[in-house]
Amino acid sequence: MPKKIAVVTGSAGFLGSHLCDKLIEKGYKVIGLDNFITGKLENIRHLLKSKNFSFLKHNITKYIDIKGRVDYVLHFASPASPEDYLEHPIPTLKAGSLGTHNALGLAKEKKAKFMLASTSEVYGDPLVHPQPESYWGNVNSIGVRGCYDESKRFAEAITMAYHRVHKIDTRIVRIFNTYGPRIRINDGRVIPNFIYQALDHKPLTVYGKGSQTRSFCYYSDLIEGIFRLMNFRINTPLNLGNPDEFTILELARLVLRLTNAKDKIIFKPLPLDDPKQRRPDITQAKRLLKWHPKIKLREGLKETIAWFRLHS
């Protein structure tokens, strides 16, 4: 049987590159696209030698021209860290809007299945906790995070429209906070920031009082969930993430312990519109995909710290 062919946008990113690895391991051929706005060549260098991987440097806000058969379009291109999208609000809005339109157009042309990498940010600063897929969210559309939240909300809307109008077999995965090897050390997200600071003998910067919560999923659990979702027919959004919830202060203390750092914690102002709580309700993913995250935060942090020690 000929190998299935998947196009992955954002293939040089943290999650995009791990997804390419998974697909190749599972016998797919992968065509990766990235414009390196936040992705890194380092993340895919090992794949460039593979006969099952080809790469195009391309900005997905422009028309995507791929020759030959395509079975799957997986749209993972977008800045995803608050610092990145605050620095690049317009490319972020364009990746979610024009980029999703182009990626859907490619799926339609090739009669391919389509997956959108969406986000827990569609729930904004949630008033329902934990967040089930049925929750419509609490988003400040004109706030500083609006560029990301609204681009992904638009991306979900156009994906559902292509499913309803053009009958494309679509998936929408709402990804909650994820971490692990290849996350950019300077991307501003809390886990790389804390590990970098601890290893560099700097105090850990906790924003606000650190009482806000997040639930962190190790990349390998998430990628396994995404792979299962590709092969399961559900066209409405599905949450994937780890429901173990921690305050940011608890996370800081854990990173200090695991790095044996003597350094302290300093408190900085809470960024605008920073969600106070976040935890996925993964009842649906458990039931439909027979999936649940296996890696505990402590274990995943140890792996990530070891990786940072080698790569920073």
Q: Interface with ligand UDP by CB under 6 A: which residues?
A: 81-82, 177, 188-190, 193, 205-207, 212, 214, 248, 270-271, 274
Contacts for 255 with CB less than 8 Å, ≥ 6 apart: 191, 194, 195, 198, 204, 261, 301, 305
- Measured from the CB atom, the residue of 101 and 189 that comes closer to ligand UDP is 189
**In the complex, minimum distance from the CB of residue 32 to ligand UDP, in angstroms, rounded to a whole number:** 25
- Measured from the CB atom, the residue of 112 and 195 that comes closer to ligand UDP is 195
3-class secondary structure, 91: helix
Catalytic residues: 148
* Closest by CA position to 31, among listed 50, 53, 47: 53
**In the complex, minimum distance from the CB of residue 88 to ligand UDP, in angstroms, rounded to a whole number:** 15
**In the complex, minimum distance from the CB of residue 124 to ligand UDP, in angstroms, rounded to a whole number:** 11
Directed axis angle between helix 190-199 and helix 297-311, to 10°? 60
- Measured from the CB atom, the residue of 212 and 304 that comes closer to ligand UDP is 212
Strands of the chain (E only): list them.
5-9, 29-34, 53-57, 72-75, 113-119, 170-175, 178-179, 204-207, 213-215, 217-218, 238-240, 245-247, 265-268
**In the complex, minimum distance from the CB of residue 155 to ligand UDP, in angstroms, rounded to a whole number:** 17
- Measured from the CB atom, the residue of 171 and 189 that comes closer to ligand UDP is 189
3-class secondary structure, 122: helix
What length is written for the chain?
A: 312
3-class secondary structure, 108: helix
